[in-house]
Chain A
Amino acid sequence: MPEIVNLKNLSRHFKMAQETVRAIDDVSITIEEGNFIALVGPSGSGKSTLLNLIGGLDSPTSGEVTVDSTDIGKMPEREKAHYRNKKVGFVFQDFYLMDNRSALENVELPLTIMEKPYSERHELARSALDAVGLNERMAHKPGQLSGGERQRVAIARAIVTQPILLLADEPTGNLDSKSGDAIIKLIGQLNKSRNMTVIVATHDQKVAEKADRRIPIEDGRILPEAR
């Protein structure tokens, strides 16, 4: 399998008062296309920072983040925005849906930013919601949906642009175990059916067990993997 993500001596340090926090410290890993990766570690270990660096939401202090043969760490802000729009799908623990819009309109948002024509984005959003099993709830607003359903809408929004990377930060963190299992199962299915590379940051071992590869992280450093 060709490699899709390559992190080389990646570091991300934050200055906090007099202290320097090493959120990511000299990390080097390679992820192959179509992998389902679990970044496992306790709270504050650097999982989210690593996801943000791979997703182009943050820039490294040093090192390289190469995704699909492009070093996104050195990209100008505008190109980074296009990269996030076209190549990455984000799923967050808190869903981050817009309350005043229907499920369909929430899913259409990245396509609107992408400047897809109205009819096309409507069609793509419907099919993404269909893929996550929400074809009956398209007109509902987030307030009318359960936690699991909201996360499904968020997943539909993440995959609607057909990105090469799906980055999920504690996707089951705000869900009960039944809904959480269903969400992880759904992410696993999308990974297999679309050959989409998935990186999930989690501290939940049950979620990690579903991944092809578990990368433990602690204090910003990668620990030896357990396959």
Chain B
Amino acid sequence: MKFRDMSVEVLRNLVRRKLRTCLTVLGITIGALTVAIMVALGSGLQTFIHSQIRSIADPCIMQVFGAKDLPITSFLSTTFGRLGQPPRRINENGFNPGAFNLRYFKPEEVEALSNISHVEKVAPAILLFTNYIKLEEDERKFEVVAIPEGEGFKMDVESGPGFSNASGSREVVLAYHYLEAFGANDPKELIGKKVYFSITRFPLTAGKSLISRIWKQNNEKIFEGTIVGFARKTILSMAAYLNHDFALEMARFFLDDPELYTKSKFGLLANLTVDSKNNIPEVKEAVMEMGLTPLTIEERIGILDTLFVIVQTGLSVFGVIALVVAGLGIANTLLMATYERRREIGLHKALGMTNSQIRSMFALEAIVMGVLGGILGVTAAYVAGTLGNLLAQATFASAWDGVMLFAYPWWLFLGILLFSAVVGLLAGLYPASRAARMDPISALRSE
């Protein structure tokens, strides 16, 4: 029997029991829809976060930790110890998990980092928390995240001159969203105006007693800066970028240590500015040779990707389970069909159909049901995703132009169709082989 004729035969058989076929296909549809939606959501979010990270992260900045392992990788053991494991002896370069793998850089290490070729600047990573930001002649206080210059964030100044780099200057580039917050229509209205940051000393720093810190006055200080620009719209909508000297001044007050972030007290984390992102691998290698741990923007994205893959896989498992259960539905439908169509199978055999043709016919029925369910599933997922994107753009994601919450990579449709077909085929194997093995005489005699 030709494939075309067999296909017609298969479609006829499926149409014969419309409701049953529809219910079976619906099962596959739900499974395929779940997988497609989960993967599309994961992929959409991943693409969005990727693009946002790339838009805000400076690819030429590399962070360096003073340990062999990243603190993030040993987070669990840092918090709880290695669960159920006996304590290990600490060797020369090792760290106690409870120490969080962090330590101050030594001056000679900072020197050595500066001497790596292609490294333009080695700066300490500055820890700084602010209470609020306020515009001059305006009593309203606003939320703010202070980001010191050179911390790895890309700051594309869209309006205004930007940092002058003059020694001792106190300059601020604000996120674009502050225009609206401060009630201005044009950035020019705010360039050159003063802004005030409130900082409270971190109460747990060493040097003075905790009680005096909490109860005594002068724990809060207002720092005055000048707006020198507005940064391009990114997800960092509450960012206030500070020039290095200004940030240092604030950070030293925050941690109550005027010697902090100098060569002798460099800090826990170093930010390396590399002349070109193409030289990042070379610099990275040199840093690793020093027994330190570099973390590039690509590695940060990689860590994020791993998390996405884990979440996506976890969510997709539900869809896969639904698909497999729907596959059992196909097997059940076809098994019933082999009983109902015993005479027909016997007749086909009497008229010359081979066992393998009977097997192929039933297997094709299963594949058609699987693929049909897959097509309906991905179509429904596409429609739902498109509506979801429109809804997101109209509501909570309106700040980002063209954001796609649900993204459909080309392989998703193909992959789900293929997977649905495979589920169908596997589900159809047993009924197909049962039909093929049927004795034509007893099949013809059956009621």
A residues touching B (Cβ–Cβ < 8 Å)? 52, 55, 57-58, 77-78, 81-86, 90, 92, 96, 98, 100, 109-110, 112-115, 157
Give B316 Cβ to nearest chain A Cβ, in Å: 40
- Known interface pairs A57-B440, A112-B5; A90-B350 also in contact (CB < 8 Å): yes
Q: Give min CB distance, B356 to chain A, whole Å.
A: 7
A84 touching B352, Cβ below 8 Å: yes
13 contacts between A and B (CB under 8 A): A55-B350, A57-B349, A81-B349, A81-B355, A84-B350, A84-B352, A85-B351, A85-B352, A96-B343, A96-B346, A96-B350, A98-B347, A115-B1
Taking CB atoms and an 8 Å cut-off, the chain B residues in 344-378 that contact chain A are: 344, 346-357
Q: Is the CB of B441 within 8 A of A84?
A: no
Chain A at the B interface: SS class? helix
Residues in A whose Cβ lies below 8 Å from that of B351: 84-85, 90, 109-110, 113, 157
The chain A residue with its CB closest to the CB of B358 is: A81
Which chain A residue shows the least CB distance to B6? A112
Query: Sorted from nearest, which 10 A-B pairs have the closest CB atoms?
Result: A85-B352, A81-B354, A110-B351, A84-B352, A96-B347, A113-B352, A112-B5, A113-B1, A78-B354, A57-B440
Q: Measured between C-beta atoms, what is the minimum distance from B434 to chain A in Å? A: 16
Q: Which of A57, A78, A98, A100 contacts B350 (CB 8 A)?
A: A57
Interface size class of B (residues with CB under 8 A): 20 to 34
Question: How many whole Å from A168's CB to the nearest CB in chain B?
Answer: 13
Chain A residues, CB < 8 A from B353 = 81, 85, 113
CB distance from B247 to the nearest CB of A (A): 81
Q: Is B208 an interface residue (CB 8 A)?
A: no
A58, B441: Cβ atoms under 8 Å?
A: yes
Cα of A113 to Cα of B350 in the assembled complex, Å = 11
B444 at the interface (CB under 8 A from A): yes
Known: A92-B444, A115-B2. A100 touches B352 (CB 8 A): no
Q: Is B89 in contact with chain A by the CB < 8 A criterion?
A: no
Contacts of B18 in A (CB 8 A): none
Pick the most buried of A81, A90, A110: most chain B CB atoms within 10 A of its CB. Answer: A81
Q: Measured between alpha carbons, how far is A98 from B348 in the docked complex, in Å?
A: 10
Alpha-carbon gap, A57 to B444, bound state (A): 11
The answer to whether the Cβ of B16 comes within 8 Å of any Cβ in the partner chain is yes
Query: Is the pair A52, B441 in contact by a Cβ cutoff of 8 Å?
Result: yes
**Cα(A100)–Cα(B8), bound, Å:** 13
B6-45 to A contact mask, C-beta < 8 Å, 1/0: 0000001000100000000000000000000000000000
Question: Cβ of A114 and Cβ of B350 under 8 Å apart?
Answer: no
Cα separation A52 to B443 with both chains bound (whole Å):
13
Instruction: Point out the residue from B5, B343, B352, B354 that lies within 8 Å of A86, measured CB to CB.
Output: B352
A residues within 8 A CB of B1? 112-113, 115
**How distant is the Cα of A92 from the Cα of B346 in the complex, in angstroms?**
12
User: Which listed residue, A52, A58, A92, A110, touches B352 by the CB 8 Å rule?
Assistant: A110
Chain B residues with CB under 8 A of A84: 349-352
Asked whether, in the complex, the Cβ of A78 is within 8 Å of the Cβ of B356, the reply is yes
User: CB-CB contacts of B373-399 with A at 8 A, as 1s and 0s?
Assistant: 000000000000000000000000000
- Bound complex: CA of A52 vs CA of B354, how far in Å? 16
Q: A81-B355, A83-B352, A84-B349 are in contact. List 12 more A-B contacts (CB 8 A).
A: A52-B441, A55-B350, A82-B352, A84-B351, A84-B352, A85-B353, A90-B350, A90-B351, A112-B5, A113-B351, A114-B352, A115-B1
CA distance A93 to B79 in the complex (A): 83
